[in-house]
Structure 1
Amino acid sequence: MEAVGNFNALPFEGGITDLDLYQWEGFWYLPPHLEAAKTIKSHFEARDDDVILASHVKTGTHWLKALCFCIMQRQTGANDVEEEDPLVKITPALCIRTLEVQVYTPNHSPNLSGMSSPRLFHTHLPCSALLDSIKNCKCKIVYITRNPKDTLVSMWHFLNTRRTPEQGPYPFERAFEGFCNGVCPYGSFFDHVLEYWMESSKMAHKILFLKYEDLRSDPKRQLKRLASFLGKPFVEEEEIDKLVWRCSLERLKNLEVNKNGVEPSTGFPNSAFLRLGVVGDWKNNFTSEMKECLDQITLMKFQGSGLEL
C-alpha cells in the first residue's frame, strides 16, 4: 500500500490499533514523528556531556526518565523533602522531553543552545537514525528494553486509552499480528533492540543497555550501574535506598500528577503512562499459540547476538 499526501513516496500501513504509519529507512513512524526524525538526523547536534535515553515504545521509558532525572540532579541541590521533590509536581514525561515528540514536532527548528549542561533528552528513534547526530561526540546513551510479550501488551493497553467507548479496545489478535510483522510505532521491536544491543557491545563506554526485568528484580544493583555510567556514582547505601523509593513504580503511580491530567504533546492521559509495571502480565492476553509464535520470532531475530529477553 502506498502513502498519500506529503509521504506519497513512502510505504504506508494502518498499523497496530489502525494508526497511520509510514516507513522510512526500515522503521515505521507516525507522520509528525517522521518529519521530526528526519530533522533530528540532519540537524540535531549533541554535546559531549549530553545524556540521551532511548527505548522502543512501552519498555520502561517513563520509569527510566524518573530514575535518570533524579540521578543527574541528585548532587546539585536535590532535596529529600517530599513536598520539594520535582516528581511530585512534574510528570517524568516533562522532566526529560522526547526529542521527536516534545521538542522537534512542535518546532522544527528549536533553539537548544541555551539549555544548561548536562542536557537530558529521550528518544524512541532507532539507533541508525540517531548515530549521525551523536557519533562525533562523547555523549552517553542509556537504552532500556523489555520482554517483547509484555511490551506488546503494554503498548496495546496504552494505545487503547485513545479509543472511544464506542470503538472499544482494538482486537488484540490484530495488534499481535502487527507487532510480529514489525508494523507499529518506531518499527520492529526486534530490529530496534538489536541495533542498540550491537552498538552497545562495540561502545560500552557510550551506550548502557538495561533490561526492565533486571531493574524490577534487583533495582539497587542496576541503579549502581546506571549512576556510575552517568558519572554520578552513589557514595552511601542510603542514597540508593532513597532513590529506589523515590522512583519506585508504586510511588510514581500514586502521585496525583501521574493520576490526573493529559500529556500535552500527545493527548494521552498521564495515568496511561504508568499502568501495572509488572513482569509477566502478557499471560493475561496471550494464547499458548501466540506465546510459541512470538518466542520463536524472538529466538530467530536475536540468534547469534548473545542477547536474551
Structure 2
Amino acid sequence: MATINPPKTTSTSALFDDLPTEKWINLANLYQWKGFWYRRPHLEAVMEARSSFKARDEDVILASSMKTGTTWLKALIPSIMDPNARIVGETNSDDNSDPLVQNFPNVLIPSFEIQIFAENSTYNILDMPSPRLFRTHMPYAMLPDSIKTSGCKIVYITRDPKDTVLSLWHFMNSIRKPEERPFPLNEFFESFCKGLHPFGPFHDHVLGYWKESMMRPEKILFLRYEDMKRDTSGQVKKLASFLGRPFAKEEEVAKVVWMCSFERLKNLEVNKNGVEPDAGFPKSAYFRLGVVGDWKNSLSMEMKKQLDEITCNKLEGSGLDLLN
C-alpha cells in the first residue's frame, strides 16, 4: 500500500539546525518549534501533516497530551462508531463483532505522528472509509488548517498533571533494559514542570484545546479523565452524542462500557504480550493501573505543592480546574 504523502522536495536539516534543542532525560533530543517541544521524527511528521492532510467533515480526531487516558478513548471511540460492536445480545461474548479482541487500540485509531506521516509510512488514508478515525498529540495551534476549518470532530482528553507526569515516567521506564535503572524521578519531574517533554509544555497544550472548546463546543469535546472514571456511563453517553452516535438503549451503554473497561482491555490477549511496532513500547505498558490519584504513591508532598502551584498559575482565569 503506497503512502499518501507527497515526496519531500526540500530538506528540513537547515530548519532543525536553527531550532532550540535540549536533551530530555538522557534519552533523546527535543526540538522547540512554535513554543512546543518535539522529538525530531514527530516534528517532521507534524510538519508533513500540516502541509498535506485534508480533513473530511466526517473525520474524528482524538487529541491529547501524552499519558492522559488516551488509550481508553482509543477503545471507546471505535466501539461507539461501530454499530456491530453496540449490538446487545444474550451474552457479551468475545466474537468477531468486537473490534477490541483482535486489535491493539493503536491499530483502531492510527497516529499522525507515529504512523500516518512517519517516514516510510505505508498508510493510504485516501482509501479509508468514512468516518475516518485519527489520533494526535499535536497542540491545537499546530493542527492542519483543514482540521480546524472542516466539520470534523475533535475529542480531547486530559487529567491531573500529577498523575500525568507519574504515568509518563512509568511509561518511559517500560523501555528500559532489565539491567538499566529507572529514569530518576526527581529529574523527570523537574523536566515536566519546566515544560520540557514531548509535545510539552503540558499546561499550554491543555489550554489550547480548552479555550477552543469553550468557543466551539460543537467542534471540540473536552474530557477529563477523572470525570470519565467518576461517571463512566454518563461520560460515554456524552461522547456518543457528540460523535453523532447516541445510544438508543441503556443496555448499549453498558455493553460499550464493559467492552472498554480497563480490566478487560488489560487482560485481552492482544494487549498483554509483544511490542507496539510503531512506537516501540511494550503493549502491556499502555495498561498499567488506570486509576486516579496514583501520584500519591510516588510523588512527595513538596512535588505536589510545586506542580499544583504551577497548574493554578497557568490555568488562572481560564475556568478550567485539573486538580484532584
Shorter-chain TM-score: which interval?
over 0.9
Question: Pairwise mapping of residues 246-261 of structure 1 onto structure 2 (< 5 A)?
Answer: 246-261=259-274
Alpha carbons 1:40, 1:133 under 8 Å: kept:
no
> Using a 3 Å threshold, how does the CA distance of structure 1 residues 134 and 264 change in structure 2: closer, same or farther?
same
The structural deviation recorded for 1:162 is: 1.1
How many equivalent pairs are there? 306
**Which of 278, 281, 284 is residue 268 of structure 1 equivalent to?**
281
When residues 68 and 17 of structure 1 are mapped into structure 2, their CA distance, relative to the original with a 3 A threshold, is farther
Does residue 148 of the first structure (1) align with residue 161 of the second (2)?
Answer: yes
Q: Distance in 1 between matches of 2:19 and 2:179?
A: 32
In the TM superposition, 1:150-299 aligns within 5 A as 150-299=163-312
- The one-letter amino acid paired with 1:158 is F
- Bigger Cα displacement from structure 2, 140-149 vs 66-75: 66-75
**8 Å CA contact 1:72, 1:232 repeated in 2:** yes
Q: Distance in 2 between matches of 1:218 and 1:200?
A: 21
1:42·1:133 contact (CA, 8 Å) conserved in 2?
no
Give 1:185 shift.
Answer: 0.7
TM-fit CA distance, 1:75? 5.3
Q: Which runs of 5 or more structure 2 residues have no equivalent in the other structure?
A: 1-12
Which of 115, 138, 155 is the equivalent residue of 2:151? 138
The answer to whether the 8 Å contact 2:154/2:219 transfers is yes
Deviation by residue 1:112-165 (Cα, 9 ceiling, x = unmatched): 211110100000100000052312210000000011000000000000111122
State the partner residue of 2:77.
68
SS in 2 for 1:245: helix
Distance 1:108 1:253 in 2: 28
Name the amino acid aligned to 1:65: K
**AA partner of residue 77 (structure 2):** C
- The answer as to whether partners of 1:36 and 1:108 remain within 8 angstroms in 2 is no
Closer, same or farther: CA 238–17 of 1 in aligned 2, 3 Å: farther
Amino acid corresponding to residue 83 of structure 1 in structure 2: D
1:113 aligns with 2:126: yes
| Matching residue's letter, 2:130 | S
Where does 1:88-127 land on structure 2 (aligned, <5 Å)?
88-107=101-120, 111-127=124-140
Q: CA deviation at 1:8?
A: 1.1
Q: CA RMSD in A?
A: 1.7
By how many angstroms is 1:43 displaced?
Answer: 1.3
AA paired with 1:292?
A: K
Unmatched segments (≥5 aa) in structure 1:
none
C-alpha distance in 2, partners of 1:5/1:275? 40
Q: Is the 8 A contact 2:80 2:240 kept in 1?
A: yes
TM-score (normalizing by structure 1) = 0.95
Is the contact made by 1:91 and 1:257 (CA closer than 8 Å) also made in structure 2?
A: yes
SS of alignment partner, residue 30 of structure 2: strand
Kept in 1: contact 2:79–2:86 (CA 8 A): no
Residues 200-236 of structure 1: CA distance to partner in whole angstroms, max 9, x if unpaired?
0011000000000111110010011100000000000
Which stretch shows the higher mean deviation, 26-35 or 128-137?
128-137
- 2:54 maps to amino acid: E
Q: Does 1:82 align with 2:94?
A: yes
Q: Secondary structure at the match of 2:62?
A: strand
Q: 2: distance between equivalents of 1:295 and 1:29?
A: 24
Q: Residues of 2 paired with 1:298 and 1:17: CA distance? A: 26
Q: Is the 8 A contact 2:53 2:144 kept in 1?
A: no
Cα deviation, residue 42, structure 1: 1.6
Equivalent residue for 1:24, pick from 33, 36, 47 = 33
Structure 2 residue identity aligned to 1:40: A
Residue 196 of structure 2 aligns to which amino acid in structure 1?
Answer: V
Amino acid of the residue matched to residue 279 of structure 1? V
